[in-house]
Amino acid sequence: MPPMKRNLTRLTLATLMVAGTLAPAPLFAKPAMSNNEAGTMDSAGWMRPDPKMDRFIADLMAKMTIDEKVGQLSLLTSDWDSTGPTIRQGYQDDIRKGRIGSIFNAFTAKYTRELQRLAVEETRLKIPLLFGYDVIHGHRTIFPISLGESASWDLKAIEKAARISATEASAEGIHWTFAPMVDVARDPRWGRMSEGAGEDVYLGSKIAVARVRGFQGDDLKRVDTILATAKHFAAYGAAQAGRDYHTVDISERTLRDVYLPPFKAAADAGAATFMTSFNEYDGVPASGSHYLLTDVLRKKWGFKGFVVTDYTSINEMVPHGYSRDLKQAGEQAINAGVDMDLQGAVFMDHLAKSVAEGKVDVKRVDEAVKAILEMKYRLGLFDDPYRYSDEAREKATVYRPDFLEAAREVARKSIVLLKNKGNALPLAASAKSIAVIGPLGNSKEDMIGSWSAAGDRKERPVTLLEGMQARAPKGTTVAYAQGAGYQFADAGKRDGFAEAIALAQKSDVIIAAMGEHWNMTGEAASRTSLDLPGNQQALLEELKKTGKPIILVLMSGRPNSIEWADANVDAILEAWYPGTMGGHAIADVLYGDYNPSGKLPVTFPRNVGQVPIYYDMKNTGRPIKPEDPNAKYVSRYLDTPNTPLYPFGYGLSYTSFAYSPVTLDKAKIRPGEKLTASVTVTNSGARDGEEVVQLYVRDLVGSVTRPVKELKGFEKISLKKGEKRTIRFTLTDADLAFTRQDMSWGSEPGQFKLWVGPSSAEGSEAAFELTE
Ligand code: NOJ
């Protein structure tokens, strides 16, 4: 029987970016089948017409009763994992009775085979089950949390992580992952920021595509590919005050310009399924939103897969105050465009009656059933329902050494060097005694973060201490003292301080491993403070008094307020939750075996009062006056600057990169014409390294106000010391499109500024004009 119930977490994938990246495709144009910018894969291949499949499904559906049809629209959890409130037991019996067509939170070849047998041997029509799971950032081998992976800005690496996750999950019977989470997130109080790609529309869209491709590969018939889910549709990241599941109230323009593009990109890349969000949009819960699910997703974007709800989100339309009872909620959901009810048992209990009463047209039920059966067919389950449940393949696949190596590689790429005063890092050979101090220094369970699927949390994860001990040169001692606690209840305690201070005093350097318990981010993990929880800050201040160099290694799933640390410690690394091989990856960076190359996918505020703060904000009519920081009657705080602690796109390296001034091949472009921006980047430091070269644009005057900067391209390059390379970005008017005052999508003629540089706050500037 099942391993113990566990809690949450999840994952992703990527693509080689070439110079000249493109903006997300127009939101409201029909998606072209070939909208794969890198052009190397055809992950939307499943959309191709298949007359044989159509005949097979039509024959099958002709035999189905309404109850059997409703069964295909119902998805329940097994008791192997818990990812929400438990409301229904007895799923085996439901399978036998044909009351459910899909199961989630069940895995291993053996267990999925056992459950599949119930469906294909004990039900009348023998329709195979579809097995779903939250495979978010790894299945067994766990990669950094999704926000961390995104900090790599390395689309190939992200795609590879998703590919490996799919390979492991599919070997354990999983057909379908509830990932990628493509919600733009701009409020770090919201714990689910950790599950996505951060605050940016453009970066988020590229990463969405990479992850869909990684999970689905180029052919769903391959036994190592799984269906992807773009979630949570839509605008879940805009929860008011960062409180999970809270109300969303944003304009239609913000929905279109900020929250929808990553979903559109995922749909264009062929994401097979979409998951609705818990929140309302414009007063209508997403699971009841005909506008989102039918008008936008199906009609405007041409989505051909199926839509699943989030966990009991149909039921939740009752407390939302949108439905008077569950039966009405089910009718509203299916009529809006929901195909599958996740865990709510609302369709199961009420839909047949609603059809009989004429409240739901059976044609809508048939559409939903067809979309789901098609996916089962395309996965090859009607040929062999057990093809994913193969114990020999499972044994040969999970925790493969090359997967673990890839997890280490992605983890080191995800680490961001935030500060490095006096080249405190990499560690010098003279550091003969190293003190690892802090609650995250030797904690296996924290390394893999939340949504860690079937990943082992107890034995396998390599801690920071273990990584350092394995790497430290002979003759160097690495010792550990926890010193502080990271639970809220630890605030004010000092019990571990003396031991930690004593260790620090006799050591050459302190590595302070601090941050948040893994369960403080992810679902239902909102905070009102971004401070280091517990008594960590107090310990850090005591450690400072020892006069020893302090390297702060942060592990968390959101930006923390570390203004004090920025002013007082020697170096800071943001390591997120780095995954199964995290300790090795951090040691690789601390010792300089890997030169850090991560860049922040999210702005780090100075304190929580600045939230929401993101780089592509609007200017206001009374912007601050840099020449007069104390000016009155301008848009500023009295007690904190407007600027963040660390801006989006920021991250240091052990080498330095010099940028030439950016040059443009022309000063004006007409619609359809290409503009090329070129910059030469030189590795001007003493080590080989990687840099993420970023292109930002500002539309100076619009029919509606425009952000002060928007990312429109990036390229991650590797340069040997002394090497230089010219990077070229190509833009057209399509890259400058937005939702205009009349709500149409397109660009507007006028003046633009453009910057190319190492972050959203730096870069050399040029100007151009878009003419009529
Ligand atoms: C609720 C979460 O919001 C969603 O992301 C997840 O996929 C489902 N539970 C299933 O575990």
Q: How far is the CA of 178 from the centre of ligand 1 (A)?
A: 7
Q: What is the mean pLDDT of residues 6-29?
A: 33
Cα separations in angstroms, 18 against 33, 34, 159, 717: 20, 17, 15, 10
Q: Is 178 in the pocket of ligand 1 (CB under 6 A)?
A: yes
The enclosing H or E element of 577 equals none
CA 274 to ligand 1 centroid distance, Å: 12
**What's the 277 CA to ligand 1 centre distance in angstroms?**
9
- Residue type at 353 in one-letter notation: K
CB 183 within 8 A of CB 230: no
pLDDT at residue 234 is higher than 90: yes
Q: Give the number of other Cβ atoms within 10 Å of residue 743's Cβ.
A: 11
* Nearest atom within ligand 1 for CA of residue 181: 5
Q: What is the DSSP letter of 292?
A: I
First to last CA, the chain: 68
pTM of the shown model? 0.94
Which pLDDT does position 47 carry in this prediction?
86
Ligand 1 contacts CB of residue 84 (under 6 A): yes
Centre of ligand 1 from the C-alpha of residue 104, in Å: 10
Assess whether the C-beta atom of 192 lies below 6 angstroms from ligand 1: no
Q: What percent of the chain has pLDDT over 70?
A: 94
DSSP letters spanning 719-748:
E-TT-EEEEEEEE-GGGG-EE-TTS-EE--
Query: What pLDDT shows up at residue 44?
Result: 67
CA distance 614 to 606: 12
> Does the beta carbon of 83 sit less than 6 angstroms from any atom of ligand 1?
yes
Span of 232-241, 288-297, 622-631, 671-680 with lowest mean pLDDT? 622-631
Residue 479: pLDDT band (50, 70, 90) is very high
Residues 310 and 231 sit within 8 Å (Cβ to Cβ): yes
Cα-Cα-Cα-Cα torsion 600, 231, 108, 522, nearest 10 degrees, comes to 50
Closest C-alpha residue for ligand 1 atom 7:
178
The domains spanning 426-598 and 657-770 adopt the same CATH topology: no
* Cα of 727 from ligand 1 centre, angstroms: 40
- In this structure, are residues 295 and 286 in contact, taking their beta carbons and an 8 Å threshold? no
Tell whether ligand 1 has an atom less than 6 A from the beta carbon of residue 648: no
Q: Is the pLDDT of residue 8 over 80?
A: no
The reported pLDDT for the residue numbered 86 is 73
Average pLDDT over residues 757-765: 98
Closest C-alpha residue for ligand 1 atom 11 = 83
Which of 678, 663, 664, 661 has its CA nearest to residue 728?
Answer: 678
Ligand 1 pocket residue status of 310, Cβ below 6 Å: yes
The atom number, within ligand 1, closest to the CA of 178 reads 7
Indicate the pLDDT class of residue 89, thresholds 50, 70 and 90. Answer: confident
Tell me which residue of 407, 45, 75 sits closest to 222, measured CA to CA.
Answer: 45
* Residue 25 reports pLDDT greater than 70: no
- The domain covering 657-770 belongs, at the CATH homologous superfamily level, to Immunoglobulins (2.60.40.10)
Predicted confidence (pLDDT) per residue in 564-579, tens digit: 999 999 999 999 999 9
| Percentage of the chain modeled with pLDDT above 90 | 92
Phi, psi of 490 (to 5 degrees): -80, -10
How many angstroms does the Cα of residue 771 sit away from the middle of ligand 1?
A: 46
Mutate to test the pocket of ligand 1, among 10, 145, 174, 342 (most ligand atoms within 8 A of CB): 342
Q: Does ligand 1 lie within 6 Å of residue 195's CB atom?
A: no
Catalytic residue ranges: 310
pLDDT of residue 191: 98
C-beta 523 within 6 A of ligand 1: yes
- Tell whether the torsion through CA atoms of 377, 382, 385 and 390 is positive or negative: negative
* Residue 326 pLDDT exceeds 50: yes
Minimum-distance ligand 1 atom for the alpha carbon of 229: 7
Ligand 1 center–CA 312 separation, angstroms: 10
* Binding site membership of 231 for ligand 1 (Cβ less than 6 Å): yes
Q: With a cut of 50, say whether residue 68 has pLDDT above it.
A: yes
**What mean pLDDT is reported for the chain?**
94
Q: Exposed/middle/buried for 319, CB within 10 Å: 0-12, 13-18, 19+?
A: exposed
Residue 311 beta carbon below 6 angstroms from any ligand 1 atom: yes
Task: Report the nearest-CA residue for atom 1 of ligand 1.
Answer: 311
DSSP lists the bridge partners of residue 678 as: 663, 728
Residue among 79, 83, 451 whose CB has most ligand 1 atoms within 8 A, to mutate? 83
For ligand 1, mutation pick of 9, 11, 87, 134 (most atoms within 8 Å of CB)? 134
Mean pLDDT on 8-14 = 27
The three-class DSSP label of residue 470 is helix
Q: What is the pLDDT of residues 34-44, one digit of tens each?
A: 333 333 334 56
User: In this structure, are residues 452 and 138 in contact, taking their beta carbons and an 8 Å threshold?
Assistant: yes
Mutate to test the pocket of ligand 1, among 131, 145, 275, 276 (most ligand atoms within 8 A of CB): 275
Q: What is the pLDDT of residues 98-151, one digit of tens each?
A: 999 999 999 999 999 999 999 999 999 999 999 999 999 999 999 999 999 999
| CA 154/CA 176 separation, integer angstroms | 24
What's the gap in Å between 324 CA and the centre of ligand 1? 25
The CA distance from 334 to 469, in Å, is 56
**704: confidence class by pLDDT, cuts 50, 70, 90:** very high
Q: Which residue has the tokens 């425009």?
A: 706
φ, ψ for residue 571, nearest 5 deg:
-145, 150
Nearest 10 degrees: CA dihedral of 168, 170, 176, 179?
A: 10
Distance from residue 181's CA to the centre of ligand 1 (Å): 10
pLDDT tier, 87 (very low <50, low <70, confident <90, very high otherwise):
low
Centre of ligand 1 from the C-alpha of residue 755, in Å: 39
The more confident residue out of 563 and 28 is 563
CATH fold for domain 426-598: Rossmann fold (3.40.50)
For 139-205, the DSSP string reads: SSSB-S-HHHHHTTT-HHHHHHHHHHHHHHHHHTT--EE---B------TTSGGGGGS--S-HHHHH
Q: What is the dihedral of CA 622, 627, 630, 634, to 10 degrees?
A: 0
Residue 709 is given by DSSP the state -
How remote is the CA of residue 259 from the centroid of ligand 1, in Å? 19
Atom of ligand 1 nearest to the CA of 195: 5
- Per DSSP bridges, beta strands 509-515 and 550-555 are parallel
- CA 754–ligand 1 middle distance (angstroms): 39
Domain ranges of the chain: 63-132+362-403, 426-598, 657-770
* Ligand 1 atom with least separation from CA of 105: 11
Could you tell me if 196 and 402 are in contact, meaning their C-beta atoms sit under 8 angstroms apart?
A: no
Angle (CA) 761 765 768, round 5°: 130
Tell me which amino acid residue 137 is: H
The residues facing 490 across adjacent strands are none
> Does the CA dihedral 190-196-197-201 come out positive or negative?
negative
In angstroms, the Cα distances linking 757 to 15, 39, 302, 691 are: 22, 27, 37, 10
